[in-house]
Structure 1
């Protein structure tokens, strides 16, 4: 059953923020792999793509919605031509990040290590001073969470894993695992065509919003990528916002 983000996410994020400086005994939990973004929209974790190619292609000049039947040979924010594969990533990859989370007026920081190997996706969270908070492991089928007992049962690890996939996974993979919503990609604004820096966006809209004739179409999720031309996506500064939940996530590569 999909979770209602508007009802659940503020509590989930608040628990995370309150627990960043805490350590204690850990417990192993198995999590659901589908998370609710709105009442009628959810995202289900996708298998690891075979590989992640550097995002060297010039981003689109105008936002667009890519139908499921559209050819994926056109350039996009990240290598959309990559498809899901049971073989997982072709070689081990590891990325260290500084993550800032803001919910309303509350904010905090943590360090994360994202590791991709074979069919396994591992996300480790540390407090700024290095205390272990959680280790999330997704093998393409199940999601397990080894976390401090002080985080409590209401800490929803699946949301963190889902956010990482929405940020980094190929577009066609996200579209295939997004239910009740549409992913739109392109430049965030006119300044995004700079030859020095690019500012590309992913925006997720609900079906009802896209069907509306109103000129004011509010996105459920917006992800902004700021990077130098030729840099891989993993080198980008990431800003993810969810206005309805008053939630902001900033990722800075280390």
Structure 2
């Protein structure tokens, strides 16, 4: 019997939470580069964009209507980051009522994306390396074969990659960017055209919402950017939620 998608996400997150603080011998594994986000929806890791310059990625502050999924004009020629970039982050993960923290180091160089995970006290948990084609994972054997750290790398791309690249590698989903409204401190699913009580936001809907006329369309993924330093995306405090999976991810730059 196929595993319910929500149960699968809960299992993945539970394994991640249980793993924090564990150390031991490591093993090298090769991972899938596509991860499921919902029924009939998945995201496949994208190559590093050419001349990737996160601090100048401005589309988040410009609301867009909900268009049909666009065919990307981006090609994979001349792919690669022109100069090495490195970002340290504190990551908080919550699934249901359980929560934990880890430290991550994200490095971008040439065509290589490397994500290193550490427990709060500095013990190595995993190292993921994506070269634009294959994804390898060196991780503690104590994490077990069911540990799917590639989901965390996919989330990093959903958060930071240019929207054109995400649309080109999102299957069965619909990306909307703009400003998310806040009402009484609670999150709203509505993208609005005013900056009053709003913050930059990305939302991913299922393909079904393209033909739905309901005003109660629910996002599968929502990413909110609490930006404190101009438009520097990589210095933003970020919140990613997946309501159906009861999954929350908080990223705070270090």
Report if the CA contact (8 A) 1:226-1:238 is conserved.
yes
User: Per-residue deviation at 1:50?
Assistant: 1.2
TM-score normalised according to structure 1 size: 0.84
Q: Tell me what 1:36 maps to.
A: 36
Q: Which moved more, 1:100-109 or 1:208-217?
A: 208-217
| CA RMSD between the two structures | 4.7
Report if the CA contact (8 A) 1:127-1:133 is conserved.
yes
User: Per-residue deviation at 1:52?
Assistant: 2.9
Change (3 A) 1:228 1:56: farther
Report if the CA contact (8 A) 1:95-1:113 is conserved.
yes
- Report SS of the residue matched to 1:121: strand
Q: Tell me what 1:193 maps to.
A: 189
Report if the CA contact (8 A) 2:92-2:250 is conserved.
yes
User: In 2, distance between residues paired with 1:123 and 1:215?
Assistant: 38
The alignment covers a number of residue pairs equal to: 244
Report if the CA contact (8 A) 2:178-2:191 is conserved.
no
User: In 1, distance between residues paired with 2:79 and 2:30?
Assistant: 23
User: Per-residue deviation at 1:128?
Assistant: 0.2
Q: Which moved more, 1:197-206 or 1:172-181?
A: 197-206
TM-score normalised according to structure 2 size: 0.84
Change (3 A) 1:71 1:240: closer
User: Per-residue deviation at 1:79?
Assistant: 17
User: Per-residue deviation at 1:232?
Assistant: 1.5
Q: Which moved more, 1:209-218 or 1:28-37?
A: 209-218
Q: Tell me what 2:133 maps to.
A: 141
Change (3 A) 1:164 1:213: same
User: Per-residue deviation at 1:7?
Assistant: 3.3
Report if the CA contact (8 A) 1:222-1:241 is conserved.
yes
User: In 2, distance between residues paired with 1:3 and 1:39?
Assistant: 11
User: In 2, distance between residues paired with 1:193 and 1:7?
Assistant: 24
